[in-house]
Structure 1
Amino acid sequence: NQSNKHTNIQTNIYTHTTNYNIRMTSRIVSRVAKGIDTSDGDGVNLKRVIGGPVERVDPFIMMDEIESDDSNDYMAGFPDHPHRGFETVTYVLAGSMEHRDHKGNHGILVPGSVQWMTAGRGIIHSEMPKMEEGLMHGFQIWVNLPAKDKMVEPRYQDISPDKVPIVEDSNGNKIKVLAGCYKKVTGPVEGVVTSPLLLDVEIAPGATFIEEIPVGHSSFAYVFEGSGKFGPADNQKEVNKSHIALLDGSNGQTQIEVTSEKGCRFLLAAGKPINEPIAQRGPFVMNTKEEIYQAISDYQNGLF
Protein backbone atom coordinates (compact mmCIF):
# COMPACT_ATOMS: atom_id res chain seq x y z
CA ASN A 1 0.00 0.00 0.00
CA GLN A 2 2.85 2.36 0.79
CA SER A 3 4.31 1.86 -2.70
CA ASN A 4 0.99 2.69 -4.30
CA LYS A 5 0.34 5.78 -2.14
CA HIS A 6 3.69 7.28 -2.80
CA THR A 7 2.93 7.20 -6.23
CA ASN A 8 5.68 43.50 -19.46
CA ILE A 9 8.10 44.78 -21.32
CA GLN A 10 8.74 42.86 -24.47
CA THR A 11 12.40 42.66 -25.47
CA ASN A 12 13.04 42.04 -29.16
CA ILE A 13 16.59 41.81 -30.49
CA TYR A 14 17.07 42.10 -34.23
CA THR A 15 20.23 41.18 -36.13
CA HIS A 16 19.92 42.67 -39.60
CA THR A 17 21.60 41.24 -42.66
CA THR A 18 20.92 41.91 -46.30
CA ASN A 19 18.23 39.25 -46.60
CA TYR A 20 16.59 38.50 -43.23
CA ASN A 21 15.94 39.33 -39.56
CA ILE A 22 16.58 37.01 -36.61
CA ARG A 23 14.28 37.71 -33.66
CA MET A 24 14.59 36.63 -30.02
CA THR A 25 11.06 35.67 -28.94
CA SER A 26 9.40 35.05 -25.62
CA ARG A 27 7.51 31.96 -24.57
CA ILE A 28 3.80 32.46 -24.08
CA VAL A 29 1.69 30.81 -21.41
CA SER A 30 -0.18 27.94 -23.03
CA ARG A 31 -2.07 26.93 -19.89
CA VAL A 32 -2.60 27.98 -16.27
CA ALA A 33 -3.79 25.45 -13.67
CA LYS A 34 -4.24 25.41 -9.90
CA GLY A 35 -2.72 22.68 -7.75
CA ILE A 36 -5.18 20.28 -6.12
CA ASP A 37 -5.30 19.28 -2.47
CA THR A 38 -4.53 15.62 -1.78
CA SER A 39 -2.45 13.45 0.55
CA ASP A 40 0.44 11.02 0.17
CA GLY A 41 2.94 9.10 2.26
CA ASP A 42 1.42 8.19 5.61
CA GLY A 43 -1.17 10.94 5.41
CA VAL A 44 0.77 14.09 4.53
CA ASN A 45 -1.55 16.80 3.24
CA LEU A 46 -0.12 18.51 0.18
CA LYS A 47 -0.92 20.26 -3.08
CA ARG A 48 -0.32 18.22 -6.25
CA VAL A 49 0.53 20.31 -9.29
CA ILE A 50 2.08 18.04 -11.91
CA GLY A 51 0.48 14.61 -11.80
CA GLY A 52 -2.76 16.35 -10.84
CA PRO A 53 -4.33 19.16 -12.90
CA VAL A 54 -1.36 18.90 -15.28
CA GLU A 55 -0.51 15.32 -16.18
CA ARG A 56 3.16 15.66 -17.19
CA VAL A 57 5.62 18.23 -18.56
CA ASP A 58 8.24 15.93 -20.06
CA PRO A 59 10.70 15.24 -18.40
CA PHE A 60 8.83 16.37 -15.24
CA ILE A 61 6.33 13.73 -14.16
CA MET A 62 5.19 14.97 -10.75
CA MET A 63 5.39 18.03 -8.50
CA ASP A 64 3.99 18.47 -5.00
CA GLU A 65 4.00 21.43 -2.61
CA ILE A 66 3.72 21.09 1.16
CA GLU A 67 2.79 24.28 3.00
CA SER A 68 1.24 24.09 6.47
CA ASP A 69 1.82 25.29 10.01
CA ASP A 70 -0.42 22.51 11.38
CA SER A 71 1.78 19.57 12.37
CA ASN A 72 -1.14 17.18 11.79
CA ASP A 73 -0.71 17.88 8.08
CA TYR A 74 2.89 16.69 7.87
CA MET A 75 4.13 14.81 10.96
CA ALA A 76 3.33 11.32 9.57
CA GLY A 77 5.91 11.95 6.87
CA PHE A 78 7.04 9.50 4.22
CA PRO A 79 8.33 6.29 5.89
CA ASP A 80 10.43 3.74 3.98
CA HIS A 81 9.25 3.32 0.39
CA PRO A 82 10.89 2.31 -2.91
CA HIS A 83 11.62 4.14 -6.15
CA ARG A 84 12.91 3.02 -9.53
CA GLY A 85 13.44 4.64 -12.93
CA PHE A 86 13.53 8.39 -12.19
CA GLU A 87 14.92 11.16 -9.94
CA THR A 88 13.39 12.98 -6.97
CA VAL A 89 14.17 16.63 -6.21
CA THR A 90 13.34 18.00 -2.76
CA TYR A 91 13.61 21.72 -1.99
CA VAL A 92 12.81 23.03 1.48
CA LEU A 93 11.78 26.64 2.17
CA ALA A 94 10.72 26.31 5.81
CA GLY A 95 10.94 23.55 8.38
CA SER A 96 13.20 20.50 8.43
CA MET A 97 13.13 17.00 6.89
CA GLU A 98 15.43 14.01 7.39
CA HIS A 99 16.43 11.73 4.50
CA ARG A 100 17.68 8.17 4.95
CA ASP A 101 18.06 5.42 2.36
CA HIS A 102 19.19 1.80 2.19
CA LYS A 103 22.47 2.80 0.50
CA GLY A 104 23.54 4.54 3.70
CA ASN A 105 22.90 8.12 2.59
CA HIS A 106 21.65 10.51 5.25
CA GLY A 107 20.83 14.22 5.17
CA ILE A 108 18.91 16.87 7.09
CA LEU A 109 17.11 19.32 4.85
CA VAL A 110 16.81 22.78 6.40
CA PRO A 111 15.44 25.97 4.80
CA GLY A 112 17.25 26.50 1.48
CA SER A 113 18.47 22.90 1.18
CA VAL A 114 18.21 20.89 -2.04
CA GLN A 115 18.31 17.13 -2.38
CA TRP A 116 18.61 15.49 -5.81
CA MET A 117 18.24 11.72 -5.60
CA THR A 118 18.69 9.49 -8.63
CA ALA A 119 16.72 6.34 -7.82
CA GLY A 120 18.00 4.50 -10.89
CA ARG A 121 17.70 0.71 -10.59
CA GLY A 122 16.18 0.96 -7.14
CA ILE A 123 16.37 2.69 -3.80
CA ILE A 124 14.38 2.52 -0.57
CA HIS A 125 14.28 5.76 1.38
CA SER A 126 12.34 7.75 3.94
CA GLU A 127 11.69 11.46 4.37
CA MET A 128 10.51 12.36 7.87
CA PRO A 129 9.93 15.72 9.56
CA LYS A 130 12.59 16.79 12.07
CA MET A 131 10.23 19.21 13.80
CA GLU A 132 7.15 18.88 15.97
CA GLU A 133 5.50 22.21 15.20
CA GLY A 134 5.79 25.28 13.02
CA LEU A 135 5.66 25.95 9.30
CA MET A 136 6.64 23.23 6.87
CA HIS A 137 7.02 24.49 3.30
CA GLY A 138 8.75 22.81 0.40
CA PHE A 139 8.51 21.00 -2.90
CA GLN A 140 9.21 17.64 -4.39
CA ILE A 141 9.61 17.20 -8.14
CA TRP A 142 9.95 13.90 -9.99
CA VAL A 143 12.19 14.01 -13.07
CA ASN A 144 12.09 11.12 -15.53
CA LEU A 145 15.12 9.20 -16.78
CA PRO A 146 15.55 7.89 -20.35
CA ALA A 147 15.41 4.13 -20.85
CA LYS A 148 19.19 3.84 -21.10
CA ASP A 149 19.60 5.38 -17.62
CA LYS A 150 16.68 3.90 -15.70
CA MET A 151 18.79 1.08 -14.24
CA VAL A 152 21.88 3.10 -13.29
CA GLU A 153 23.26 2.87 -9.76
CA PRO A 154 21.40 5.12 -7.29
CA ARG A 155 23.01 8.47 -6.50
CA TYR A 156 22.33 11.10 -3.86
CA GLN A 157 23.26 14.81 -3.92
CA ASP A 158 22.70 16.59 -0.60
CA ILE A 159 23.16 20.34 -1.04
CA SER A 160 23.23 22.70 1.92
CA PRO A 161 21.89 26.29 1.65
CA ASP A 162 25.37 27.86 1.63
CA LYS A 163 26.17 25.99 -1.60
CA VAL A 164 23.22 27.50 -3.49
CA PRO A 165 24.33 30.69 -5.29
CA ILE A 166 22.10 33.76 -5.12
CA VAL A 167 22.13 36.38 -7.89
CA GLU A 168 20.67 39.85 -7.40
CA ASP A 169 20.05 41.57 -10.72
CA SER A 170 19.87 45.27 -11.58
CA ASN A 171 16.06 45.28 -11.20
CA GLY A 172 16.23 44.21 -7.56
CA ASN A 173 15.20 40.62 -8.27
CA LYS A 174 16.77 37.76 -6.30
CA ILE A 175 17.43 34.46 -8.05
CA LYS A 176 18.58 31.26 -6.34
CA VAL A 177 20.29 28.95 -8.84
CA LEU A 178 19.45 25.39 -7.80
CA ALA A 179 20.37 23.66 -11.07
CA GLY A 180 21.55 24.83 -14.46
CA CYS A 181 23.00 28.25 -15.22
CA TYR A 182 21.76 31.83 -14.77
CA LYS A 183 23.87 34.85 -15.82
CA LYS A 184 26.96 32.60 -15.99
CA VAL A 185 26.32 31.41 -12.42
CA THR A 186 26.01 27.62 -12.23
CA GLY A 187 23.94 25.79 -9.64
CA PRO A 188 25.34 22.99 -7.45
CA VAL A 189 23.38 20.06 -8.94
CA GLU A 190 25.61 18.07 -11.30
CA GLY A 191 25.45 15.27 -13.84
CA VAL A 192 21.73 15.21 -14.63
CA VAL A 193 20.96 13.75 -18.05
CA THR A 194 17.98 16.05 -18.77
CA SER A 195 20.16 19.20 -18.40
CA PRO A 196 17.68 20.91 -16.06
CA LEU A 197 17.29 24.56 -15.19
CA LEU A 198 15.76 25.10 -11.75
CA LEU A 199 15.54 28.61 -10.30
CA ASP A 200 13.83 30.11 -7.26
CA VAL A 201 12.93 33.59 -8.53
CA GLU A 202 11.81 36.46 -6.29
CA ILE A 203 10.67 39.49 -8.30
CA ALA A 204 10.75 42.89 -6.63
CA PRO A 205 7.55 45.00 -6.73
CA GLY A 206 7.25 46.73 -10.09
CA ALA A 207 10.19 44.86 -11.60
CA THR A 208 10.67 42.72 -14.71
CA PHE A 209 12.50 39.41 -14.97
CA ILE A 210 13.87 38.00 -18.24
CA GLU A 211 15.71 34.70 -18.57
CA GLU A 212 16.91 32.57 -21.45
CA ILE A 213 15.56 29.02 -21.67
CA PRO A 214 17.41 26.45 -23.82
CA VAL A 215 15.70 25.92 -27.17
CA GLY A 216 13.76 22.65 -27.14
CA HIS A 217 13.49 22.42 -23.33
CA SER A 218 10.06 22.00 -21.79
CA SER A 219 9.41 24.65 -19.14
CA PHE A 220 6.96 25.77 -16.50
CA ALA A 221 6.69 28.29 -13.67
CA TYR A 222 4.92 27.69 -10.35
CA VAL A 223 3.94 30.75 -8.31
CA PHE A 224 4.06 30.26 -4.53
CA GLU A 225 4.01 33.89 -3.36
CA GLY A 226 2.19 36.87 -4.85
CA SER A 227 1.32 36.97 -8.53
CA GLY A 228 2.90 37.95 -11.82
CA LYS A 229 2.21 38.52 -15.49
CA PHE A 230 3.98 35.95 -17.65
CA GLY A 231 4.71 36.33 -21.36
CA PRO A 232 5.55 39.14 -23.78
CA ALA A 233 3.83 42.51 -23.41
CA ASP A 234 1.28 41.78 -26.13
CA ASN A 235 0.34 38.34 -24.76
CA GLN A 236 0.56 38.30 -20.95
CA LYS A 237 -1.32 36.07 -18.55
CA GLU A 238 -1.75 36.69 -14.83
CA VAL A 239 -0.58 33.76 -12.71
CA ASN A 240 -1.53 33.73 -9.04
CA LYS A 241 -0.30 31.86 -5.97
CA SER A 242 -0.65 28.04 -6.14
CA HIS A 243 -0.90 28.10 -9.94
CA ILE A 244 1.37 26.58 -12.57
CA ALA A 245 2.00 28.24 -15.94
CA LEU A 246 3.08 26.05 -18.84
CA LEU A 247 5.45 27.97 -21.12
CA ASP A 248 5.17 27.22 -24.83
CA GLY A 249 8.51 26.94 -26.61
CA SER A 250 7.32 24.77 -29.50
CA ASN A 251 8.32 27.37 -32.09
CA GLY A 252 11.84 27.88 -30.73
CA GLN A 253 11.03 30.72 -28.33
CA THR A 254 14.14 31.47 -26.34
CA GLN A 255 13.17 33.37 -23.19
CA ILE A 256 10.69 33.95 -20.40
CA GLU A 257 9.43 37.41 -19.41
CA VAL A 258 7.67 38.16 -16.11
CA THR A 259 6.50 41.41 -14.52
CA SER A 260 4.88 41.91 -11.13
CA GLU A 261 3.30 45.02 -9.64
CA LYS A 262 3.38 43.90 -5.99
CA GLY A 263 6.09 41.24 -6.07
CA CYS A 264 6.11 37.57 -6.91
CA ARG A 265 8.07 34.41 -6.12
CA PHE A 266 8.05 31.31 -8.26
CA LEU A 267 9.95 28.21 -9.27
CA LEU A 268 11.14 28.22 -12.87
CA ALA A 269 11.90 24.75 -14.23
CA ALA A 270 13.06 23.61 -17.64
CA GLY A 271 14.43 20.31 -18.90
CA LYS A 272 15.25 18.38 -22.05
CA PRO A 273 12.28 16.20 -23.06
CA ILE A 274 12.86 12.45 -23.20
CA ASN A 275 10.06 11.64 -25.66
CA GLU A 276 9.71 8.00 -24.66
CA PRO A 277 6.71 5.90 -23.58
CA ILE A 278 5.98 6.04 -19.84
CA ALA A 279 4.60 3.23 -17.70
CA GLN A 280 4.04 4.27 -14.10
CA ARG A 281 2.67 2.57 -11.02
CA GLY A 282 3.09 4.41 -7.76
CA PRO A 283 6.80 4.96 -7.14
CA PHE A 284 8.01 3.05 -10.22
CA VAL A 285 8.39 4.88 -13.55
CA MET A 286 9.51 2.73 -16.46
CA ASN A 287 8.86 2.41 -20.21
CA THR A 288 6.69 -0.74 -20.34
CA LYS A 289 4.20 -2.61 -18.16
CA GLU A 290 6.56 -5.58 -18.10
CA GLU A 291 9.28 -3.40 -16.54
CA ILE A 292 6.79 -2.26 -13.90
CA TYR A 293 5.95 -5.88 -13.04
CA GLN A 294 9.68 -6.61 -12.80
CA ALA A 295 10.22 -3.63 -10.48
CA ILE A 296 7.42 -4.81 -8.18
CA SER A 297 8.82 -8.35 -8.17
CA ASP A 298 12.37 -7.14 -7.49
CA TYR A 299 11.19 -5.01 -4.58
CA GLN A 300 9.06 -7.77 -3.08
CA ASN A 301 11.97 -10.22 -3.36
CA GLY A 302 14.46 -7.92 -1.67
CA LEU A 303 16.51 -7.23 -4.80
CA PHE A 304 16.65 -3.46 -4.32
Structure 2
Amino acid sequence: MNIRTVLRVIRSHASKDGDGVKISRVHGFNDAKFSPFLMIDELKSDNPDDYIGGFPPHPHRGIETLTYMLKGHFQHKDHMGNVGELSSGGAQWMSAGKGVIHSEMPIMNDGELHGFQIWINLPAAKKMNPAQYHDFQAPEINEYGTKKNLLRVISGRATEDGAEIVGPLQSTGVETFIADWRADAGEARNLTVPTDYQVNMYVYKGTVDIANQLVNQGHMVQLSPGDLLGLTASEDAGVLILSGLPIDEPVVHYGPFVMNSMDEINQAVRDYQNGVLTD
Protein backbone atom coordinates (compact mmCIF):
# COMPACT_ATOMS: atom_id res chain seq x y z
CA MET A 1 0.00 0.00 0.00
CA ASN A 2 1.16 3.53 -0.84
CA ILE A 3 0.72 5.87 2.13
CA ARG A 4 -0.48 9.36 1.28
CA THR A 5 1.89 12.01 2.66
CA VAL A 6 1.51 15.75 3.24
CA LEU A 7 2.27 17.92 0.21
CA ARG A 8 1.16 21.28 1.56
CA VAL A 9 -0.29 22.85 4.71
CA ILE A 10 -2.60 25.86 4.31
CA ARG A 11 -3.63 28.06 7.23
CA SER A 12 -7.26 29.23 7.25
CA HIS A 13 -7.80 32.98 7.35
CA ALA A 14 -10.40 35.15 9.03
CA SER A 15 -13.04 36.55 6.70
CA LYS A 16 -16.66 37.70 6.53
CA ASP A 17 -19.51 36.72 4.24
CA GLY A 18 -23.24 37.21 3.96
CA ASP A 19 -24.45 39.96 6.29
CA GLY A 20 -21.15 40.25 8.17
CA VAL A 21 -20.92 36.61 9.31
CA LYS A 22 -17.45 35.92 10.74
CA ILE A 23 -15.80 32.80 9.31
CA SER A 24 -12.46 31.07 8.90
CA ARG A 25 -11.86 30.29 5.23
CA VAL A 26 -9.65 28.19 2.98
CA HIS A 27 -10.20 28.62 -0.75
CA GLY A 28 -8.63 26.90 -3.71
CA PHE A 29 -10.49 28.14 -6.80
CA ASN A 30 -7.26 28.18 -8.81
CA ASP A 31 -5.59 25.24 -7.06
CA ALA A 32 -5.82 22.05 -9.12
CA LYS A 33 -4.86 19.94 -6.08
CA PHE A 34 -7.94 21.21 -4.22
CA SER A 35 -10.32 19.99 -6.94
CA PRO A 36 -13.16 19.05 -6.92
CA PHE A 37 -13.47 21.28 -3.85
CA LEU A 38 -13.41 25.04 -4.15
CA MET A 39 -13.69 26.43 -0.63
CA ILE A 40 -14.38 25.56 2.99
CA ASP A 41 -15.77 28.02 5.54
CA GLU A 42 -15.75 27.27 9.26
CA LEU A 43 -18.36 29.02 11.40
CA LYS A 44 -17.48 28.93 15.09
CA SER A 45 -18.71 31.34 17.74
CA ASP A 46 -20.34 31.78 21.12
CA ASN A 47 -21.25 35.39 20.27
CA PRO A 48 -24.47 35.96 18.28
CA ASP A 49 -23.09 39.26 16.96
CA ASP A 50 -20.65 37.22 14.86
CA TYR A 51 -23.40 35.72 12.69
CA ILE A 52 -26.78 37.25 13.56
CA GLY A 53 -27.24 38.74 10.05
CA GLY A 54 -26.89 35.32 8.45
CA PHE A 55 -26.84 34.92 4.68
CA PRO A 56 -29.80 36.79 3.13
CA PRO A 57 -31.26 35.63 -0.21
CA HIS A 58 -28.50 35.25 -2.81
CA PRO A 59 -27.94 33.30 -6.05
CA HIS A 60 -25.60 30.50 -7.11
CA ARG A 61 -24.80 28.78 -10.38
CA GLY A 62 -22.32 26.03 -11.26
CA ILE A 63 -21.55 24.58 -7.82
CA GLU A 64 -22.74 22.27 -5.07
CA THR A 65 -22.66 23.21 -1.39
CA LEU A 66 -22.45 20.91 1.61
CA THR A 67 -23.27 22.38 5.00
CA TYR A 68 -22.36 20.33 8.07
CA MET A 69 -23.11 21.34 11.66
CA LEU A 70 -21.22 20.08 14.70
CA LYS A 71 -23.18 22.31 17.07
CA GLY A 72 -26.12 24.60 16.42
CA HIS A 73 -28.82 24.97 13.80
CA PHE A 74 -28.79 26.11 10.18
CA GLN A 75 -31.97 27.14 8.41
CA HIS A 76 -32.15 26.92 4.61
CA LYS A 77 -34.86 28.41 2.38
CA ASP A 78 -34.79 28.46 -1.43
CA HIS A 79 -36.81 29.46 -4.48
CA MET A 80 -37.94 25.84 -4.97
CA GLY A 81 -39.86 25.98 -1.68
CA ASN A 82 -37.41 23.87 0.30
CA VAL A 83 -37.08 24.69 3.99
CA GLY A 84 -34.31 22.86 5.83
CA GLU A 85 -33.99 22.98 9.60
CA LEU A 86 -30.57 21.44 10.14
CA SER A 87 -29.65 20.54 13.73
CA SER A 88 -26.40 19.51 15.42
CA GLY A 89 -24.72 16.60 13.63
CA GLY A 90 -26.69 16.95 10.40
CA ALA A 91 -25.80 17.96 6.85
CA GLN A 92 -27.44 19.81 3.97
CA TRP A 93 -26.56 19.28 0.32
CA MET A 94 -27.56 21.65 -2.46
CA SER A 95 -26.69 21.45 -6.14
CA ALA A 96 -27.18 24.91 -7.61
CA GLY A 97 -26.89 23.67 -11.18
CA LYS A 98 -28.18 26.33 -13.59
CA GLY A 99 -29.45 28.47 -10.75
CA VAL A 100 -30.74 28.67 -7.23
CA ILE A 101 -31.69 31.56 -4.96
CA HIS A 102 -31.58 30.74 -1.27
CA SER A 103 -31.03 32.15 2.21
CA GLU A 104 -29.24 30.59 5.16
CA MET A 105 -29.48 31.45 8.85
CA PRO A 106 -27.12 30.01 11.48
CA ILE A 107 -28.68 29.63 14.93
CA MET A 108 -26.84 28.98 18.19
CA ASN A 109 -27.60 25.90 20.32
CA ASP A 110 -26.81 25.92 24.07
CA GLY A 111 -24.60 28.97 23.59
CA GLU A 112 -22.52 27.44 20.79
CA LEU A 113 -22.34 27.52 17.01
CA HIS A 114 -19.85 25.39 15.07
CA GLY A 115 -20.23 24.22 11.51
CA PHE A 116 -18.86 24.23 7.98
CA GLN A 117 -19.91 25.06 4.46
CA ILE A 118 -18.01 23.39 1.64
CA TRP A 119 -18.20 24.46 -1.99
CA ILE A 120 -17.80 21.64 -4.52
CA ASN A 121 -17.32 22.31 -8.22
CA LEU A 122 -19.61 20.89 -10.89
CA PRO A 123 -18.21 19.60 -14.19
CA ALA A 124 -19.16 21.65 -17.26
CA ALA A 125 -21.62 18.99 -18.44
CA LYS A 126 -23.65 19.38 -15.22
CA LYS A 127 -23.42 23.09 -14.49
CA MET A 128 -26.75 23.80 -16.18
CA ASN A 129 -28.68 20.88 -14.69
CA PRO A 130 -31.78 21.67 -12.58
CA ALA A 131 -31.11 22.65 -8.97
CA GLN A 132 -31.55 20.03 -6.22
CA TYR A 133 -31.62 20.02 -2.42
CA HIS A 134 -31.62 17.42 0.34
CA ASP A 135 -30.89 17.42 4.06
CA PHE A 136 -29.65 14.65 6.33
CA GLN A 137 -30.34 14.88 10.05
CA ALA A 138 -27.83 13.50 12.54
CA PRO A 139 -29.29 9.95 12.77
CA GLU A 140 -28.92 9.56 8.98
CA ILE A 141 -25.15 10.12 9.05
CA ASN A 142 -23.46 6.70 9.22
CA GLU A 143 -21.10 6.24 12.15
CA TYR A 144 -18.19 3.80 12.48
CA GLY A 145 -16.26 3.16 15.68
CA THR A 146 -16.74 4.28 19.27
CA LYS A 147 -17.06 7.65 20.98
CA LYS A 148 -13.29 7.87 21.52
CA ASN A 149 -12.58 7.07 17.83
CA LEU A 150 -15.60 7.95 15.72
CA LEU A 151 -15.84 8.30 11.95
CA ARG A 152 -19.04 9.94 10.67
CA VAL A 153 -19.36 9.36 6.91
CA ILE A 154 -21.43 11.98 5.09
CA SER A 155 -20.75 11.26 1.43
CA GLY A 156 -19.48 8.50 -0.81
CA ARG A 157 -17.56 5.30 -0.12
CA ALA A 158 -14.18 4.15 1.19
CA THR A 159 -12.80 1.02 2.81
CA GLU A 160 -11.31 0.27 6.22
CA ASP A 161 -9.72 -3.07 7.05
CA GLY A 162 -11.29 -4.46 3.87
CA ALA A 163 -14.83 -3.43 4.82
CA GLU A 164 -16.78 -0.79 2.95
CA ILE A 165 -17.83 2.36 4.76
CA VAL A 166 -20.48 4.52 3.15
CA GLY A 167 -22.35 7.78 3.65
CA PRO A 168 -25.99 8.62 2.84
CA LEU A 169 -25.10 11.27 0.23
CA GLN A 170 -24.14 10.08 -3.23
CA SER A 171 -23.48 13.30 -5.12
CA THR A 172 -24.98 13.83 -8.57
CA GLY A 173 -22.13 16.14 -9.55
CA VAL A 174 -18.79 14.42 -8.97
CA GLU A 175 -17.73 11.47 -6.82
CA THR A 176 -16.65 12.44 -3.30
CA PHE A 177 -15.84 10.84 0.02
CA ILE A 178 -16.48 13.28 2.88
CA ALA A 179 -16.22 12.31 6.54
CA ASP A 180 -15.74 13.73 10.02
CA TRP A 181 -13.21 11.99 12.30
CA ARG A 182 -13.31 12.68 16.05
CA ALA A 183 -10.73 11.00 18.24
CA ASP A 184 -9.16 11.02 21.68
CA ALA A 185 -5.41 11.49 21.98
CA GLY A 186 -3.51 8.41 20.77
CA GLU A 187 -6.34 7.01 18.65
CA ALA A 188 -5.63 6.16 14.99
CA ARG A 189 -7.51 5.44 11.77
CA ASN A 190 -6.44 3.93 8.45
CA LEU A 191 -8.70 4.44 5.45
CA THR A 192 -8.41 3.59 1.78
CA VAL A 193 -10.03 5.90 -0.76
CA PRO A 194 -9.82 5.39 -4.54
CA THR A 195 -6.37 6.16 -5.92
CA ASP A 196 -7.78 8.62 -8.47
CA TYR A 197 -9.32 10.74 -5.68
CA GLN A 198 -7.49 13.79 -4.40
CA VAL A 199 -7.46 14.14 -0.60
CA ASN A 200 -7.57 17.33 1.45
CA MET A 201 -8.22 17.45 5.19
CA TYR A 202 -9.16 20.29 7.53
CA VAL A 203 -8.15 19.98 11.19
CA TYR A 204 -10.81 21.78 13.23
CA LYS A 205 -9.70 20.59 16.66
CA GLY A 206 -6.41 19.58 18.28
CA THR A 207 -3.36 18.23 16.48
CA VAL A 208 -3.15 15.28 14.08
CA ASP A 209 -0.15 13.23 12.94
CA ILE A 210 -0.33 12.50 9.21
CA ALA A 211 2.55 10.42 7.87
CA ASN A 212 4.84 11.74 10.65
CA GLN A 213 3.87 15.38 10.15
CA LEU A 214 1.92 17.24 12.82
CA VAL A 215 -0.97 19.38 11.60
CA ASN A 216 -2.63 21.84 13.96
CA GLN A 217 -6.16 23.15 14.35
CA GLY A 218 -7.22 25.67 11.71
CA HIS A 219 -5.08 24.20 8.91
CA MET A 220 -5.91 22.41 5.67
CA VAL A 221 -3.55 19.75 4.33
CA GLN A 222 -3.21 18.48 0.78
CA LEU A 223 -2.04 14.89 0.47
CA SER A 224 0.01 13.09 -2.15
CA PRO A 225 -1.38 10.39 -4.46
CA GLY A 226 -1.55 6.95 -2.92
CA ASP A 227 -3.81 4.33 -1.40
CA LEU A 228 -3.73 4.57 2.38
CA LEU A 229 -4.82 7.53 4.46
CA GLY A 230 -3.37 7.23 7.97
CA LEU A 231 -4.33 9.50 10.87
CA THR A 232 -3.23 9.56 14.52
CA ALA A 233 -4.60 12.03 17.07
CA SER A 234 -1.68 13.62 18.93
CA GLU A 235 -4.26 15.19 21.23
CA ASP A 236 -8.05 15.15 21.25
CA ALA A 237 -8.81 15.98 17.63
CA GLY A 238 -11.39 16.62 14.94
CA VAL A 239 -10.75 16.38 11.19
CA LEU A 240 -12.89 16.85 8.09
CA ILE A 241 -11.77 14.51 5.30
CA LEU A 242 -12.52 15.95 1.85
CA SER A 243 -11.68 13.67 -1.05
CA GLY A 244 -13.00 13.30 -4.55
CA LEU A 245 -12.40 13.02 -8.26
CA PRO A 246 -10.62 16.11 -9.58
CA ILE A 247 -12.25 18.09 -12.38
CA ASP A 248 -9.70 18.95 -15.05
CA GLU A 249 -11.46 22.01 -16.45
CA PRO A 250 -10.98 25.80 -16.31
CA VAL A 251 -12.44 27.47 -13.21
CA VAL A 252 -13.75 31.03 -13.45
CA HIS A 253 -15.14 32.40 -10.20
CA TYR A 254 -17.14 35.57 -9.66
CA GLY A 255 -18.96 35.97 -6.35
CA PRO A 256 -21.60 33.21 -6.09
CA PHE A 257 -21.02 31.89 -9.62
CA VAL A 258 -18.41 29.33 -10.71
CA MET A 259 -18.27 28.54 -14.41
CA ASN A 260 -15.71 27.61 -17.09
CA SER A 261 -15.39 30.93 -18.91
CA MET A 262 -15.93 34.65 -18.37
CA ASP A 263 -18.65 34.60 -21.02
CA GLU A 264 -20.58 32.07 -18.90
CA ILE A 265 -20.09 34.24 -15.81
CA ASN A 266 -21.41 37.28 -17.65
CA GLN A 267 -24.42 35.26 -18.79
CA ALA A 268 -25.11 34.18 -15.19
CA VAL A 269 -24.99 37.81 -14.04
CA ARG A 270 -27.37 38.87 -16.83
CA ASP A 271 -29.73 36.00 -16.06
CA TYR A 272 -29.84 36.97 -12.40
CA GLN A 273 -30.38 40.63 -13.17
CA ASN A 274 -33.16 39.73 -15.62
CA GLY A 275 -34.86 37.38 -13.14
CA VAL A 276 -34.33 34.23 -15.22
CA LEU A 277 -31.37 32.59 -13.41
CA THR A 278 -33.50 29.69 -12.16
CA ASP A 279 -35.65 29.25 -15.32
Give the TM-score range, shorter chain. over 0.9
The amino acid across from 1:277 in the alignment is: P
* Helix, strand or coil at the partner of 2:168: coil
Report the equivalent of 1:226: 206
Which structure features the higher share of strand residues? Answer: 2
Alignment check: 8 A CA contact 1:36 1:53 kept: no
Amino acid at match of 1:293: N
Alignment partner, residue 262 of structure 2: 289
Deviation at 1:218, TM superposition (A): 1.1
Structure index of larger Rg: 1
Alignment match of 1:176 (pick from 135, 138, 152): 152
CA RMSD of aligned residues (A): 1.9
Residue by residue, what CA displacement relative to the aligned partner does 1:206-265 show, whole Å, maximum 9, x if unpaired? 12211102111111111111111102xxxx21001111111111xxx1111111232321
**Structure 2 counterpart SS, 1:184:** strand
Could you tell me the TM-score, scaled by structure 2's length? 0.93
Quote the residue 2:140 is aligned against: 163
Residue 139, structure 1, aligned to residue 81, structure 2 = no
Return the offset for 1:91: 0.3
1:125 to 88, 99, 102: 102
47-56 or 194-203: bigger deviation: 47-56
Deviation at 1:181, TM superposition (A): 2.1
The AA in structure 2 aligned to 1:258 is: L
- 1:245 equivalent to 2:237? Answer no
Separation in 2, partners of 1:267, 1:75? 25
User: CA 1:172–1:45 in 2, change beyond 3 Å: closer, same or farther?
Assistant: closer
Equivalent residue runs for 1:76-95 within 5 Å: 76-95=53-72
Cα distance, 1:175 vs. partner?
0.4
Preserved CA contact (<8 Å) 1:179 1:189: yes
Give distance in 2, aligned partners of 1:209 and 1:138: 23
- Aligned CA distance change for structure 1 residues 295 and 116 (closer, same or farther; 3 Å): same
* Structure 1 residue 193, shift from structure 2 partner: 3.1
Contact kept in structure 1, 2:33 and 2:222, CA below 8 Å: no
CA-CA distance at 1:299 after TM superposition:
0.5
TM-score by length of 1: 0.86
**For residues 103-161 of structure 1, what are the alpha-carbon distances to aligned partners after superposition, in whole Å with 9 as ceiling and x for unaligned?**
11111111011001000000000001344982111000000011000000000011111
Q: Report if the CA contact (8 A) 2:76-2:103 is conserved.
A: yes
Q: Paired residue for 1:274?
A: 247
CA–CA distance in 1 between the matches of 2:71 and 2:109? 13
